[in-house]
Amino acid sequence: MNRQFNRAANLFLLLLCTSCLLRLIQVSFRLSVKPQTYGWLALLCILLWAAVFFRRAFLPGSLAAAAVLWLLIRYGGEKLRPELLDILRALRLYWLNGFGNEGGAVFQASQESHSLALLLILSAAAAYLAVVLSGKSLRVNLSLLLTLPVAILCLAVNRNPPALPLLGMGLFWAELVISGDCYRPQDAAGRTVLLTLLPCLAVLGAALLYHSPENYVPENKAAMLNQRIEQLSSAVSSYLEKRPGIPQMIQGLGRRSNALSGWDQGEDTLDLTRPYDFSAGAHEVFTFRSSAGGSLYLRGRSLGDYTGTGWGKAEEQTGSQALNYAAYAAIMADYTGVGSVMSHSFTLEADRAYDTLFLPYFTICDSPGDCAIPADGRSAYTGEFLLLTGGSFGPLPESLRQEERQYRSFVREYYTRLPDSTRDALLALARQNGLNSEDSGIIAAVVDYVCRGSSYDLSVAPYPGNDYALYFLQNARRGYCVHYATAACCLYRALGIPARVCEGFLVTARSGAETSVRAADAHAWVEVWVDGVGWIPVEVTYGGTEENGSGDPSPDETETAQPEDAGDPYSLPADQESGNADERTEISPDGSGAAPLEGSDPGEGAFRPDSGGEKSGESRESPPDDPTPTPSDEKDSPPEKDSGSFSTGGVLLAALGVLVAAAVGRYALLRGRLRRQFSEPDGRRRAVYLYRQAQRVLRFGGEMPEAIQTAAEKASFSPHSISEEELQRSMEALNTLTDQVQRGLSPLRRLLFRYALGL
């Protein structure tokens, strides 16, 4: 009778665990599961349970389970791959977003259901658990090896898990421990499980009522732990990249795209209707070294014409030095004493030449440029950039003032263009939300409005309709950097403020250290025109604020790395009036959202694309005719950086590594235990251990040797001690039995035999 109770208890544990895991995974990662999935999973569990716990049912049960899976895949196989990719996207998104960050990106599925993929994954888990629950040893440890990490992962993602699946998993673990670490068909473990079921359920239910997960509020320690885990993973990644052969292996697994970013189409346009390409984030674009540490914006190109569903190539002003204006204004700030400037050097090396140079803001170039600096076939270059560490911008040098005024008229006409319907709708939104172009803090006010109530989401689906800026602000409130930048840029233009979207990279550099910049570091922001200064970067991508339920900090609360030599960060000039623009532009440290200023006092040491980017001299004290652009308030660094890749190959490799480690660990534990048992000084106990090992061998065939049987019975039922001669005869009989059984097995079963017995 005990055998039937034990089998029933193990079936109950198997069904309880798999159904609770399915529900936890579904809720935590916002996956869709059809109700009948639970029925199919229960059927598979019953078939696998029968195959494991009934010797004669092994073949029919295994074949029936395989047939059920084959039928499901046969009639829904075309959905399997998209569903698996959807699940991988969810895992990757929540990792990049930060576990437990409720206000961050929320996964938006591209598939109506993920039933087939989850059924396939959990059927493998059910097969593993069925075998483990029938094990003669390590039953508890091997069960926890699978279930505990999965449950912890779900709880890390979903800080308010559903109570019932959590209660079920707690009940499974409690009953698993009660039933013991080894399965013996004739013991009373099954009766114990069934008898303690209600008491355990009552205790766990009371604990959940007292500490309901729905009322859990995460502490700051959780966020700090997250950051440390991410730092550790970055350190491990950096270490592996330096090992011979490993970077090539990783690139082979993860690199499926040569795009510069997840939205890059390889043209001077930006199509917002395409979903984010996660495969583009893995590969290295270039390496970057700077004498300044902290977050640095490397601008690539600017876009001009808003099409409603994207951005077209900007209209170039031939011969313009517009990208140099802000750098010259920074240099003049130092020269006239209204601000202080520091010079920094940088080096960039890529494995191929891109169309444009990627330069830190406030890098002065001899080659004129308005939207981008052509690379002219160069893949490596060095130069200097400026960092404005205090005060305000100065007036432009006299030689540039007339040119800047002429360019200013073009900017005010071209970079305020919008479709009439977009302009009218955005102006109505601005009036409703108190946004007035006459306000001195309008730049920061627009950033705050765009970010307030918005959530950062790399997996956002393409918007319906043909006006993405308007849809983001009125409906979606969800997207990533290009969506934020598009909405803010169009709103600036509607208010009459010249603005454009800029694409490049946001790099977190360490002073003097080489940084690997990947496609995942690609970023988009807004450049706003300031009369008498030039184009200034404005960061508009945040994850949200505490007020709207986001877990992300507000712009004023966010702390990001400043360049090591930098003083206080400075925000965008509030006063854009042209009257004083040629004399001096004040910068107020109010955290208004522009990117921090980086720079150098280039002078003769300016970056010159036509000279290979080499520095041509030292900085001079007289007012130079060359400066540099920069990012502004580093307090606003966006969560756009999705460091690291999460490809299908990487997931499979990680899963394979976990399985191999588990298999090797089990084998090592089993061998160690056998060595300890066979060297047991107590002869009576050693005789019993030899008998148990012989029983394991008999599962593969053979008969119990008389010497082992006699010694074990004497040790168990007689007060007499066991002599060394008797133990030696038992050991020899066990070795003979093991050799005989092993010789009669096929190579595959022989391998399984040796692994199962720890030989």
pLDDT of 258 reads 59
Reduce the DSSP state of residue 705 to 3 states and report it.
Answer: coil
Which H or E run includes 526?
strand 522-530
Using the CB atoms, write b or e for 66-90: b if 16+ within 10 Å.
Answer: eebbeebeeeeeebeeebbebbbbb
Query: Above 60 in pLDDT, residue 611?
Result: no
Counted residue by residue, the chain has a size of 759
Query: Above 50 in pLDDT, residue 51?
Result: yes
Q: How far is CA 147 from CA 10, 25, 48, 172, in A?
A: 15, 12, 18, 10
pLDDT of 599 reads 34
Reduce the DSSP state of residue 712 to 3 states and report it.
Answer: helix
Q: How far is CA 288 from CA 127, 261, 346, 578, 640, in A?
A: 49, 17, 7, 37, 19
pLDDT of 643 reads 38
Which range scores top for mean pLDDT: 387-391, 436-440, 655-659?
436-440
DSSP result, 313-363 = EPPP-TT--HHHHHHHHHHHHHHHTSEEEEEEEEEEEESS--SB--EETT-
pLDDT of 417 reads 95
pLDDT of 428 reads 94
Q: pLDDT band for position 376 (50/70/90)? A: confident
Q: pLDDT band for position 497 (50/70/90)? A: very high
Q: Are 305 and 311 in contact (CB under 8 A)?
A: yes
pLDDT of 60 reads 86
Q: pLDDT band for position 349 (50/70/90)? A: very high
The two tokens of residue 170 are 């707690």
3-state SS string over 377-415?
A: CCCEEEEEEEEEEEECECCCCHHHHHHHHHHHHHHHHHC
* 348 vs 511: CA distance, rounded Å: 14
Among left, alpha and beta (phi > 0; psi -120 to 50; other), residue 453 is left
* 1 vs 541: CA distance, rounded Å: 66
Query: Above 50 in pLDDT, residue 388?
Result: yes
Of the listed ranges 5-19, 95-109, 359-373, the one predicted with least confidence: 95-109
If you average pLDDT over residues 495-506, what whole number do you get? 94
Q: Are 698 and 751 in contact (CB under 8 A)?
A: no
pLDDT one-digit tens code per residue, 623-672:
444 433 333 333 333 334 343 333 444 455 565 666 677 777 777 777 87
Look up tokens 């001690």; give the residue.
721
If you average pLDDT over residues 379-393, what whole number do you get? 85
If you average pLDDT over residues 689-695, what whole number do you get? 86
Using the CB atoms, write b or e for 722-741: b if 16+ within 10 Å.
Answer: beeebbebbbebbeebbeeb
If you average pLDDT over residues 430-455, what whole number do you get? 91
pLDDT of 237 reads 56
pLDDT one-digit tens code per residue, 534-588:
999 999 987 433 333 333 333 333 333 333 333 332 333 333 333 344 444 433 3
pLDDT of 231 reads 56
The DSSP symbol for 509 reads E
Question: What residue ranges do the domains of the chain occupy?
Answer: 2-215, 220-254, 287-636, 648-757
Of the listed ranges 524-528, 569-573, 749-753, the one predicted with least confidence: 569-573
Mean pLDDT estimate for the chain = 76
Q: pLDDT: is 305 or 163 the higher one?
A: 305
Query: Above 80 in pLDDT, residue 360?
Result: yes
Which range scores top for mean pLDDT: 195-204, 300-309, 710-719?
300-309
Dihedral sign, Cα of residue 287, residue 291, residue 296, residue 297: negative
Which H or E run includes 420?
helix 420-432
Using the CB atoms, write b or e for 620-652: b if 16+ within 10 Å.
Answer: eeebbbbbbbbbbbbbbbbbbbbebbbbbbbbe
- Residue 223's CB is within 10 A of a number of other CB atoms, namely 16
Query: Above 70 in pLDDT, residue 40?
Result: yes
Q: pLDDT: is 131 or 106 the higher one?
A: 131
* 591 vs 576: CA distance, rounded Å: 17
If you average pLDDT over residues 594-603, what whole number do you get? 36
Q: Are 393 and 374 in contact (CB under 8 A)?
A: no
Query: Above 60 in pLDDT, residue 473?
Result: yes
If you average pLDDT over residues 174-192, what whole number do you get? 83
Q: pLDDT band for position 429 (50/70/90)? A: very high
Closest CA to 262 of 523, 87, 85: 523
pLDDT one-digit tens code per residue, 476-494:
888 999 999 999 999 999 9
Dihedral sign, Cα of residue 311, residue 362, residue 517, residue 378: positive
